[in-house]
Structure formats: structure tokens, C-alpha cells
Structure 1
Amino acid sequence: MGSAAPRHTFGTPDQIAVMVDLQGFVRQQTEDHLARRKLWFPNELLSADAHDLEASEADLAQVREAARGLPDTIRVALALNLLTEEGLPHFHRLIATHLGNESPWSTWNNLWTAEEDRHGCAMRDYVRDARIFNMGALEKMQYHYIEAGFNPDWQQDPYRLLAYTSLQEKATQVAHANTGRICAKYEPRIQRILAHVAGDESRHYAFYRACFGGILARDPDNALYSLLKVMPALAMPGHNMPGYDHMSDVVRRAEIYGPRNYQAIVEELLAHWEIGTLTGLTAAGRECQDKLMKIPARLARMADYLDGKAVGTRDFSFDFIYGRTITI
């Protein structure tokens, strides 16, 4: 891998120079990630091997029986988490488009994609084997999600990509971990699967967080501007999918993932990057800094507003749980 500029037109000349300068750092972060991880595969968590069919069938019967107790709110969370993971093609494309295909960035993108691909595989194996969904209905949702595309308005800005992935990886980690903790008392196998997925997301979060930190160190004014364009309202993958808003509302009401979780993520990153104490900024940079530090309070007000609107219960119904009504 050389230090030549990535062959793409995304980013200003100054941004491209920063991304090239960061390549050695990215290479080291990738090596550190490989040293930390323990590679796992979906079949290790829910075996489909044929060498001991009788034991596999007995294990599967046990999983299905336990999974029957999963509440419909948890099933909605599992569906939303799975659909998010199966949006992987969009993210590989976005990273390749913004960061190029010939550099340590592409080495990371291919590694990250291979690791992320196991998430959708493991979760899909489970929900299919456990028979917790109308799979035909779920597959149609996943198809429409992929068909609709995911094209955030990042203005060809590679900094925004890394700001977004820092936030989004942490959000998926929290969603998977919270779902898994609730699942544990009903069916421990899916809790184990989600724990593996959340562990990966935590390591991916550490990578993207470090890389955006490297940008902040090299180009703070422009980095703050890019972060300000992404952080106030994170558009999760799948937000334009039919039924997404209702699914998100169920998950929020069930206290699995919602605006207060996102507020905590924002606060964690602002503290980690030491946004509030950055110095040497231009006037424009200081203005972005001030606005960024006000985001947690704005998110808290938004969460209060949503909680106020959610007084009382509401009915929800989804084809993938056979049209059953959820009152929450």
C-alpha cells in the first residue's frame, strides 16, 4: 500500500490530503483491531452441521420451544436489528465511494464488510430456525429496504462518513446489547448471538471513533463542521423503509433504543473527542463547537417531547408477526 491519493473525487483537496496523511494511522488501527478480535462464525452459535443430525434436531427443537415465549415487542426489535444488518451492501458502497478502493481505507472496508456480513447471517439463521416471524413478510421488507437505497446527503464529504459511522456503530451496539439482555430470560441462544454482534460493533465503533479523532487532530475546523452536519439527527439505515417509523416507536416505547440512548451516545463522543475544550479554532470552528455542545440539551428536549406525546398506549400491527396487535 503506497501513500498515493485515493482515486476518487470525494472531498476537497485539503480533505483528500488529510485522508492520505491518515493512511498510516488507519493501517495501525486495522492491525490493532485484528489483534483485539476473536473471529467467530454463525455456525458456531447455531449449528447446521450434518455429522450429528439427531443432536442438531434436538437442539433446534429446544430453541424453537424457548423462542415461543419471546414477546412481540422483542420480535419487532429483532426484526429492526436484522433489517439494519442486512443493509450492509449500502454501507460497503458508501465507504468505497467516499474513501476509495486503493488504500488502507479499502483494506479496512473489505475486512469490516466480511465481519459485518456474519451479523445478518447469524441473526437470519436464528429467526428462520426459531420460527419467530412470517419470513415471507420479513423478506419483502428487506427487499424494499435494499431497493429503496440509502443515500445520505453528505455532500461528497468523507469526514461526514466517518462521523456517521462513529455514531451509527455505537447505536447498533446499544440496540443489539439491549435487545439481547431482554431476550436472555426467554431464550438464551439469541442473547449469545446478539452479544457476539454487539461485541463486533463495539470494536468497529472504536475504529471509526479513532479515525475521526485523527481527522479532528489534523483539520479541526472542517471536522467540526462535518460533525455538526451529521450529529444532530442521525438517519439510521432503513429509515425510508415502509413501517420503519412504527417499528422504531415500538422499540422506543419498550425502552430498548430511542432518543435518550442517542443522547448518551452523543455525549460520550463529545467527551471522548474533547470537543468542548478544543483550542486554536477559527471563528467558524468555534461557532461549530458551540453548536455541537448544545446538541445533548436539544436531544433531551426532543426525548421529553416524544415522551409527552406517548402518554397512554398505542396499538401497532406488523405483517411479519402475522398481524398480531401490540399494545404498548
Structure 2
Amino acid sequence: MPFRFFISWPWTEGETEALLRPTPMKVQAMRSLSGKPACTSSRRFSSVSCRATGSGSEGASSYSSRRESMKASINPSGARSRLVAPNAIEARPDVEALEKLVRSEAAPDASPVLICGQVSHSLTKEREEIIHSMEDFMEEKVYKYLKPVEKCWQAQDFLPDPASEDFIPEIQALRERTLALPDDYLVVLVGDMVTEEALPTYMSMLNTIDGTRDETGSDDTVWGKWTREWTAEENRHGDLLNKYLYLSGRVDMRQIEVTIQNLIGSGMCPKTENNPYLGFMYTSFQERATKVSHGNTGRSAAKHGDQALANICAQIASDEARHEKAYQLICEELFRLDPDGMMMAFADMMKKQIVMPAHMMDDGVHTSRGSGAALFEDFEKVAYATETYTTADYIDIIDYLIKRWDVESIKCSSADGQKSQDYVCKLPNRLRRLAERAEKRMKKTANKQEVKFSWVYDRPIFV
């Protein structure tokens, strides 16, 4: 699975506003302020085809037309650095100042392009050339992190063989093993599986990235082949977890299937602006987060007596470890080729926070009952309570990436790059201090709440 949890910061909004300015992405934030689609893009980098709200006129590709069309198309993009309140648009006649609010922090020299209220296509022509120059590097250094099909494990390697005479007894043994798995563990495992099963969305997202997309669906480029073969390896993860949970009889598969369909239909919004600098920073983080999460679910399975499930999770974590190395190697090369650009991308993604694409998961019933929270929000609480993936894990990954790329020693020549470098290097310690204060507050007011998940037949879980 390529992507993992969006961290729910347990500290106050005032504290995070001063540091990260995060805005958890909500479905309703994907609409323009006027309630109409904000705009569409017809050209890749510097032009916008945008319909001005209420005017019916098309924005031309010229800079002046683009500026005018932007007045009616700004809306929340998920990062507060780009937020403009509805009344701010009417009250601010300074178009250049308005542009500054939505200009990509990761690419301040790129012309703003807005699609559905989000900054998009922030990759400049110069940086696109850098991406194109990396094809030999991908072929020689990165592609080796994918395995030939004949050397890959398959889901059937870990499941009872339906052609075997022992098929029914093996299923019975599997079901007996899973009886010891507690409901909170099952919720986390189902959440992992649902996220893995939304793989079509992740491949679609990668194919929106400028400079690396698979233009035809069968491109013979190293970037196109990487995306397809990476997807093929990842596809086994959801297959295996899905079948194992189905055979266990412990979960409501129909509700899980509804959740998967809803999630794929909702899509995802990692806020990567179709920019490979941001995209590879995102995948570098999320692949490592996935490895951590699957590793923890495996260790928990072993503690509960299901060693077969523990082996499954370990194999999936092993795949994620290979993919993590590949994406981090790409980022390492980008730091070498364009230290300022990559440093700004690192800081930009940290300010936005790394969101889990499954934040739009929905089983159709969860939000309307119980805690009233969205399914993903309650799923996060269970993951945190079971120590499957925590705030500490999130911060540790940031710290790891800083050391992995030796960020403190990178020479940035621009003021923006140096500012971003200073921000990133100080971030782990700042977050740990905030987390410690939040932990103390939580202990003082810790009152567990009953939450019901349709995935486990509404059996109550206290978090």
C-alpha cells in the first residue's frame, strides 16, 4: 500500500496554527466558494482555462486574463497558507497580493494554476527539464527496487489451497486463529486493507504528475513502467488482506466492500499540486509510514496468536520497505540536482501535513450515529490507541527523512530555500514538545468513548 495515515494532532488549534497551519481536508472543501467548480486546466504549466463566477466568460491563457479569473476561483486547498475567506475576495482589490496567497510555497516562481480551488501544476519548465534528465538515473539506480513477477510472492502463497483436500480443515484452522484477534485490532487491519484496495486511485494520482505521467497508459518510458509495475506489486497487498479477512468470518465483508467502493469513488487529495517534487516527497513519507504500520499490525497479530497473519503483514511491510527506498532515492537525487527546489517541497509538504488518501473513507452509516465523527477520524483514534500508528511515529518519520537526506548539510543558495531548510530541521523537536504537552492534557481529561464500526458488526470499541 502506498499511503498511510494522516495524523490527527491532539494539541490545540492555536498551537498548530502557529507552527503548521494545518487544515484537515474535508470533502466539502473541494468545492469553490461560490458552490461552483472553480476552474479547469487546459494547459500544463502557465495557463488556466477558468470560468469566472457569475460572468460566464472564459479566462484566457494570458497572464492578465488569468489574474482576473482568479478573483472568482480561490477556495480552500487544504493548506491555510492558501486559504482565502469569502469576504476576502470582495475586500481585496490587489490582485497581485491575492495571487501571493495562493502561489505554491514549493514553487514560488511558478504562475498560480487553480483547479477545483487548489493550487495545481506548480512545476516550472526548468524543473520539468530536471525531471526529464533523471531517466537514466531511474533506469540504473531506482528500477532495481522492483522485482520480476516470477520472484514476487502472490496472495495464494499465504492462503489455503482450494484444490487441496485439506482446504476445509485449513480454513477452519484459520478461523480458529483469528478468534483471538480483538475488535480494535480488526478495525485497524480492515482500515489497512481498505486503504490498500483503493489502489486505482493512487495510480490515477501518480498519472496526474507533470513530467512523469504515463500519457497513454502503456508508455515505454521509465516513469510509465515504474508506475505500472509499482502498482502491480502493490495490488497484491489488498488482495491478500481481503481474502484473509473474508475467510476469517470475523468482519462484515459487505460493509467493508461498500467502504472500498465509496473510497475509490471519492478519490484522494494529497495536495501535491501535480508536482513531482511534492509527489515524491509524499510517497517517500507514506511508504515509510506504511512499513511502520504493517510492521506493527504484524507484531500485534503474533502477540494475539496468529503467526500466519503476522507473516502476511511482514511480507507486505517488506514490499513497502523496498518502495520506500526507491522514492527516497529519487528525492535524494532531486536534492542533489535542485537543492533549493526540493527543500521548499519538503517544507511545503510538512506545513500541509501528510494526509492519508483514505481520509474520505465512508461506510454509509458511521457518521450518522455514535460519536458523530467521520469513519476515518474514529479509525485514526483506534490506530492511535492500539499503537499501530501514532503521533510519535509521524514525528519519527520526519526526523528519519531529515537524517536520511542529510538535510542540515545541504547547501541552499536562495533565501526561500534557506528558510525552508531552517523550518524543516527544527520541526521534529517542535512537534515533540507540542505532543508532550498534548499528551499531558489528554491524560488529565481521558474519558474513553464508545465507538461502533460496521466493519465488526457494530461491536462497541472504547477509544
**2:176 matched to 1:65?**
yes
**2-structure distance, mates of 1:137, 1:216:** 44
**2:457 matched to 1:322?**
yes
1:209-259 per-position Cα deviation (integer Å, ceiling 9, x unaligned):
000111110011111111111124110121122300101111101111111
Larger Rg: 2
**1-structure distance, mates of 2:386, 2:185:** 8
Stretch deviating more after TM superposition (159-168 or 304-313): 304-313
Per the alignment, residue 283 of structure 1 pairs with: 415
How do 1:51-200 and structure 2 match up within 5 A? 52=164, 54-98=165-209, 99-101=212-214, 102=219, 103-185=221-303, 186-200=305-319
Helix, strand or coil at the partner of 2:141 = helix
Per the alignment, residue 162 of structure 2 pairs with: 49
Displacement, 1:196? 0.7
**2:326 matched to 1:207?**
yes
Displacement, 1:48? 3.5
Residue among 379, 392, 398 paired with 1:247: 379
**2-structure distance, mates of 1:105, 1:156:** 15
1:300-320 per-position Cα deviation (integer Å, ceiling 9, x unaligned):
244335434543323221111
Change (3 A) 1:306 1:245: farther
**2-structure distance, mates of 1:35, 1:151:** 29
**2-structure distance, mates of 1:207, 1:147:** 29
**2-structure distance, mates of 1:156, 1:91:** 13
1:117-166 per-position Cα deviation (integer Å, ceiling 9, x unaligned):
00000000100011121111111111111111112322231110000000
**2-structure distance, mates of 1:308, 1:145:** 35
Displacement, 1:290? 0.4
Stretch deviating more after TM superposition (36-45 or 211-220): 36-45
**2:141 matched to 1:29?**
yes
**1-structure distance, mates of 2:441, 2:174:** 38
**2-structure distance, mates of 1:231, 1:127:** 34
Number of residue-to-residue matches in the alignment: 320
- Is the contact made by 2:340 and 2:412 (CA closer than 8 Å) also made in structure 1? no
Displacement, 1:105? 1.0
- Is the contact made by 2:142 and 2:329 (CA closer than 8 Å) also made in structure 1? no
Displacement, 1:280? 4.2
Change (3 A) 1:59 1:323: same
Helix, strand or coil at the partner of 2:451 = strand
**2-structure distance, mates of 1:132, 1:226:** 43
Helix, strand or coil at the partner of 1:316 = strand
Unaligned runs of 5+ in 2: 1-42, 46-120, 363-374
- Is the contact made by 1:275 and 1:293 (CA closer than 8 Å) also made in structure 2? yes
CA RMSD of aligned residues (A): 1.9
The structure carrying a bigger helix percent of its residues is 1
Residue among 382, 386, 399 paired with 1:267: 399
Stretch deviating more after TM superposition (36-45 or 118-127): 36-45
Stretch deviating more after TM superposition (124-133 or 234-243): 234-243
Per the alignment, residue 221 of structure 1 pairs with: 340
Letter in 1 for 2:256: L
TM-score, scaled relative to structure 2: 0.66
Letter in 2 for 1:14: E
